[in-house]
Amino acid sequence: MDLTHPLMSLALTLVAGILGGELFARFKLPKVTGWIGTGIVVRSLGLPGLGPGDLNGFAPFTDFVLGYIAFTVGSAFHLASLRNAGKRLSLLVVTEALITPALVVAALIFIGGQSVGIGLVMAAVAIAGAPGTTVIVVQEARAHGTFVKTLVAAVALIDMVAVVGFAFVVSLLDSGGAGLDIASLTDAAAASVTKLGVALVIGAGCAGLALLIARLVNPSFLGPTMVATILGAWGLGQATDTSSILACSLAGVMLTNFRHETARAGDAYLKPFGGVLFAGFYTFAGMRLDFSLVVPLAGLVGLFFFARLVGKSISAYLAMTLARMTSKVRRYLGVALLPHGGVAVGLILLVEENAHLASMHDTVAAVGLAALAINQLVGPSATRFALQRAGEVGLDRPRLLDFLGEQHIVVDVKASSREELIRQLADRLYATGGLSVSKGDFVREVLAREEEASTCLGEGFMIPHTALAESDEVKGVLGLSCEGLDLGAPDGRRVHAAVLLATPETDRNRHLEILAAFASAITRNTNLREQLYSARSAAHAYDILHADDAVDFNYFLDEQMAPSRAGHA
């Protein structure tokens, strides 16, 4: 009986990883750390079929999981949901691409005495975050708000930055440019741009084909279609000698922005398999780690860990300060970005697969995986601490004004008439999700309602609205103007805030609740009104409306319904 068959070895690895992860979970430790630790133990046992020389035989499995991780990272980058967040995310990309790698390179080369090549590779690995771990922590904390939105989007984005940075470093080292001369840098930059372009074509092609297949086949085959998309993007990346992980990321980006609901449905199909995939992936990663090298390199591990932490903190603080974000986002975003995850492991594994980088694999694996294990121990706690300090823990409950997400807020609105204002706000509403009715019909209904009676509530606030039979949820957009708009309001005041509201015909009570809440808040709460009218950004306005002290009008719906349920008991 052959117990060294690859499928038997894979089964043993999965079982061992699952048991190891559950054992660590019993002690309130991250499962990821348990999986890596299990891999280290399995390697030390020297089991037939699971020795260091056998691991390359499992490359198809680890490649698929890495492609899956990259695909889900990309599919989280939905541009319509990130409106108003572009400036801060762009600034974060720049600071993350410069500050964190610079500090890691300086620490490893000038303090740790490592080669330029190792410093550059570890710098690219340091950029990567942990989307899966971050999302789990956010869900467990039931956190919600501007900080959470920024954090989740940032983690997905900087993982793509890490992949692009890694592709640049590999191109540089492949060309023998460890000396960092201008010619080598230019060649590496050109090679990286070429690979990025090829990966973009692959990602767009795979996403387009997936959408075509999804239209032609039964919806039950959507999951297998997503699997084929990941495999296809990875395989084409390998065949064209470009970055497979980047191709999968871009396939996710394209798919979620071409057809967001399809991407979400595909994620929902794959999610139940995530646990077993990750258990095997991280266990194999642990099996590649020669633990005997970790102890001699303990100082280097600590150096890398602290250089990365300082880099994350400085880059996030600087980016959020330049973007004029609130103090809670500036202070704690860097700490929340501490977790390290699958993309980092994937980049470490790719080092071993590259013949030009084989000489540095042991050091990169030992330092990178040991630091990752530390990050998985302290990272989730750091993220939860940041969420608590940001004041967004426990806010992931339905609120009256949940339809006003940051992407549904427009500042510095300019309009000379009510019709022009309504059309501008309708443009944003349809750009961020829209309604089942056409935009033209929706605007006509709102204008017809406005002709019947002005929706200006006084004190510089108006709420043009309509009820739609085709709608099944409340949707709206808030427009703000610090200077105020001369729209002929009955009280003669300039309009500083306008909410364009669409509510379901079947939920008129919610419609009246929203009208009453805004009327009460704007006309009676002078402090809130002045803060809202002078909001300098959409994020600032969101924080004002969703702050703890705004709960008297933007209340939690479950609490509001509780007395009603009790009254009927």
Over residues 38-59, the pLDDT tens digits come to 988 888 888 888 887 888 888 8
Average pLDDT, the chain: 83
Model pLDDT for residues 310-352, shown as the tens digit of each residue? 999 999 999 999 988 888 889 999 999 998 877 888 888 888 7
Residue 434 confidence class, pLDDT cut points 50, 70, 90: low
What is the model's pLDDT at position 316?
Answer: 94
Residue, of 557 and 70, whose pLDDT is higher = 70
Distance CA 114, CA 240 (A): 32
Residue 176 confidence class, pLDDT cut points 50, 70, 90: low
Distance CA 397, CA 194 (A): 45
Mean pLDDT score, 516-535: 78
Model pLDDT for residues 362-409, shown as the tens digit of each residue? 889 889 888 887 887 788 888 889 988 888 887 766 666 777 788 888
Half-sphere exposure of 483 toward its Cβ, with a 13 Å CA cutoff? 8
| Per-domain boundaries in the chain | 54-390, 406-568
DSSP summary character for residue 472: -
Residue with tokens 């967004």: 392
Q: Which of 425-434, 452-461, 544-553 has the lowest mean pLDDT?
A: 544-553
Mean pLDDT score, 448-467: 85
Mean pLDDT score, 66-72: 85
DSSP summary character for residue 493: P
Distance CA 514, CA 399 (A): 11
What is the model's pLDDT at position 105?
Answer: 94
Residue 142 confidence class, pLDDT cut points 50, 70, 90: confident
Distance CA 114, CA 360 (A): 10
The residue among 232, 89, 117, 224 whose CA lies nearest residue 175 is: 117
Q: Does domain 406-568 have CATH number 1.20.1740.10?
A: no
Distance CA 96, CA 234 (A): 26
The matching CATH number, chosen from 1.20.1530.20, 1.10.1240.10, 3.30.565.10, 1.10.10.10, for 54-390 is: 1.20.1530.20
What is the model's pLDDT at position 133?
Answer: 75
Half-sphere exposure of 104 toward its Cβ, with a 13 Å CA cutoff? 29
Residue 468 confidence class, pLDDT cut points 50, 70, 90: confident
| % pLDDT > 90, the chain | 20
What is the model's pLDDT at position 319?
Answer: 94
What is the model's pLDDT at position 405?
Answer: 81
Degrees (nearest 5) of the Cα angle 447, 453, 455? 75
Does the pLDDT value for residue 469 go beyond 60?
yes
Model pLDDT for residues 264-312, shown as the tens digit of each residue? 777 777 777 877 888 888 888 888 777 777 788 889 999 999 999 999 9
Does the pLDDT value for residue 80 go beyond 70?
yes
- Cβ atoms 398, 557 nearer than 8 A: yes
Mean pLDDT score, 501-517: 75
Residue 554 confidence class, pLDDT cut points 50, 70, 90: low
What is the model's pLDDT at position 311?
Answer: 95
Does the pLDDT value for residue 562 go beyond 60?
no
What is the model's pLDDT at position 1?
Answer: 53
